[in-house]
Amino acid sequence: MDSRELRRAFLEFFEGKDHVILPSSSLVPDDPTLLFTSAGMVQFKDIFWGKVPPKYPRVTTCQKCFRTTDIERVGTTAYHHTFFEMLGNFSFGDYFKEGAIRYAWEFLTQVLSFPPERLWVSVYEEDDEAYSIWRDVIGIPPEKIVRLSKEHNWWGPVGGQGPCGPDTEIFWDWGEKHSCGPDCKGPACDCNRFSEIWNLVFMQFDAQPDGTLKELTRKNIDTGMGLERTTAVLEGVMSDFETDLFRPICEEIEALMPRHASRVARYRNLLADHIRALVFLIADGVLPGNEKQGYVLRRVLRRAVRAADRLELPEGILVRLVEPVVATLGDIYPEIVERRRLVEEVLSQEEKAFRRTLRAGEALLEEVLSQLKEGEVLPGEVAFELYDTYGFPVELTEEIARERGISVDR
């Protein structure tokens, strides 16, 4: 099963469980408090907050999402992304913990045919109800049910008050050979043995201004399955960048690279991730700017150009990589087909403009960095001069310095 089949199977499964399939919302939410749509629940935020009644008690979506919280890790791991797709099922005052857990287990083991023995789960350490459902109703051995702290298994509240609650996460076990050793902490470990594939959030409480938790009258379910990570499991590869979602982009990058280019995987993966984000952001109306969404777009684009330079790719590379993105996802998201010309125009103009900035700023930065050793600090006034004189972003100065083990004095 590939990503296309997974996307379809998920939506059809929940449609068969009386969920209404709704389309993905824009990456730019109709909410002034949010820059981007970072999860499937964003388009239902007012329902969860009790501001508007739900039109349907059960819905399911495949939501395009964008996040920059882990942008520095993109390319350095097998599964961190800026743009990604989140499969989700939602219940507004209908089924709750047992229903959500039963549906998840049925889909994974019966539709996707995941061997039950390869699945582990985590629950919030005080959520005895979820623990009991996994152990007594589903039949997971207690040694594969891990109780974790709020840091790992609790969602919200956003802004310190409002809907929140415990969650339970489902993990794929790649096997002991991928463990970090006898001290492996199971699903809580950062080693490569476990991949989180699904998070089920139980919106059970209303956090008060004083920090107390009030039980919600109408309890809700918000789940999110990472399409990329689950596709990796289905295709038997440990990196999202080896799946059908990324292979055409990575292959195009490799075809344009000189054979001697070094550090291929890191920069190739970063570029493949960022070009997907750029195509979808621009198609959803985000244009380069100096604030809010436009500033973030410009930052992602500049990171993509630098990655391309590390791979010694030709100028104009961003426009050339639009094709594999559209070929991979254009029939799922027709907006990237309809607005392809705009996407290519923006990428072309912005890449040319940034290259002029890059050439001027890098020369001065290289001169200063060559005089510093690993572990030393680049003076803040240098970063300011680069920005003030050349428009060279401070984050870019920090990123280039970090690659050499040098920090920047802010």
Q: What is the pLDDT of residue 299?
A: 92
What six digits make up the tokens of 45?
Answer: 């935020």
Alpha-helix runs per DSSP H in 259-291: 264-283
Element (H, E) at 320: helix 317-320
Same domain, 317 and 288: yes
**Which position has the higher pLDDT, 133 or 354?**
133
Contact partners, residue 62, CB within 8 Å, separation at least 6: 7, 10, 11, 24, 85, 86, 87, 88, 227, 332
Same domain, 214 and 308: no
Length of the chain: 410
By residue range, what is the domain housing residue 161?
A: 3-237
| Boundary (domain end) residue, out of 204, 237, 270 | 237
Same domain, 231 and 255: no
AA identity, residue 383? A
Same domain, 230 and 275: no
Strands 145-148 and 213-226: unpaired
**Which position has the higher pLDDT, 185 or 194?**
194
How confident is residue 376, by pLDDT bands cut at 50, 70 and 90?
Answer: confident
Same domain, 258 and 233: no
Query: In whole angstroms, what separates CA 69 from the centre of its chain?
Result: 9
| Boundary (domain end) residue, out of 181, 206, 237 | 237
pLDDT digits (tens, 9 = 90+) for 300-329: 999 999 999 989 999 999 999 999 999 999
Same domain, 199 and 252: no
AA identity, residue 354? F
Same domain, 263 and 393: yes
Tell me the mean pLDDT in the region 46-66. Answer: 96
Question: What CATH number is given to the structural domain containing 153?
Answer: 3.30.930.10
Same domain, 222 and 278: no
Same domain, 251 and 227: no
Note the pTM of the prediction, 2 decimals: 0.91
Check pLDDT > 90 for residue 395: no
Give yes or no for a contact between 104 and 198, defined as CB atoms under 8 angstroms apart. yes
| Boundary (domain end) residue, out of 192, 219, 237 | 237
Same domain, 46 and 127: yes
Structural domain count, the chain:
2
Same domain, 308 and 159: no
Same domain, 109 and 213: yes
pLDDT digits (tens, 9 = 90+) for 215-265: 988 999 999 999 999 999 999 999 999 999 999 999 999 999 987 666 689
What six digits make up the tokens of 218?
Answer: 């109408």
